[in-house]
Structure 1
Amino acid sequence: MQEDVRRHMNRHLTSEVGISLAEFSILSALRVTPDRPMRVYELIDTLRWEKTRIIHQISRMVRRGLVERQASPEDGRGTNIALTVEGRAVIDEALPLHVLHVRRLFFDVLAPQQLDTLAVMSEAVLENLQSESFEE
């Protein structure tokens, strides 16, 4: 189900606003902090992606003009990632469409009791991940 939903969401975003689900994830994370760019490690923590995945995705997005790299004023070695004007316009268009799509996929087809059950199940799995040493 997870892969089917991800593939469906990716197709929807691509056809509606011309961005992938991965691009949407990064743009929406950056949109949460509109007054400042984010460090790469903040994106890694927020999205829970591997560093190489973030770096490659950001490189593609820089080429597309959606984000830009900026030298960190606090640390010359660090890199900040910021939305471009085009990236902000794309995510501002994508967010309400994405919310409606998620509502149609999940909230419109699941009863409140089913959503509560899903939340309880998700919390149990997340607690198990935190208590076990699944990290490599």
Structure 2
Amino acid sequence: MESTAKLALEAWESLMRAQATLAREFEYTGDWGEILPREYGVLHALSSSDNGLRITELIDDALLTQAGVSRLVARLEKRGLVERHDDAADARACRIALTAEGRAVYRKLGRAHARQVRAAMTRALDPAALETLRTLADALTAAAPSHRKSTP
């Protein structure tokens, strides 16, 4: 029987290889128009919040670094897809939200991306395997320590 360390490394490598392979497929074969896949990730993260998100919340949801999110938000803001507004709970912070145009672009791209994801995921996995994959991925995410810096 394989050692736990070896099995964990092999499972990690398989997971990363699958994610990278699918991400590359989505990037190369997706119909992104003028939007880059990472920009879509920011639009997706913002789509679930009517009041917008703080940059720190957006970093967690879009899975990017602060510098990366800041640059993406600036580009999206310049193109009229997102806007900044004051955070009522903290005068030092701002919230980033989708504009009406940003929401329309997100919906259009989201429908096409959802079809692409469904096709890619179901060509190898049946519904039971998809449920297992979701459960396993959620467990890994839930068990990860938070790396957000605490504020004094």
Instruction: Give the TM-score normalised by structure 2.
Output: 0.70
1:64 counterpart (61, 69, 79): 79
- Give deviations 1:8-66, integer Å, cap 9, x for gaps: 212344x3443121111111111111x31211111122233221111111112112221
What value does the CA root-mean-square deviation take over the aligned residues? 2.6
Give the fraction of aligned pairs with identical amino acids, expressed as a percent: 31
The answer to whether the 8 A contact 2:55-2:96 is kept is yes
Q: CA deviation at 1:80?
A: 0.9
1:42 counterpart (47, 57, 61): 57
Q: Which has the larger radius of gyration?
A: 2
The answer to whether the 8 A contact 2:59-2:69 is kept is yes
Q: How many residues align?
A: 131
SS at match of 1:71: strand
SS at match of 2:108: helix
Unaligned runs of 5+ in 2: 1-17
Unaligned runs of 5+ in 1: none
**CA separation of 1:42/1:129 partners in 2, compared to 1, >3 Å: closer, same or farther?**
closer
The answer to whether the 8 A contact 1:17-1:93 is kept is no
**Aligned-partner Cα distance in 2 for 1:115–1:55:** 33
**CA separation of 1:61/1:116 partners in 2, compared to 1, >3 Å: closer, same or farther?**
same
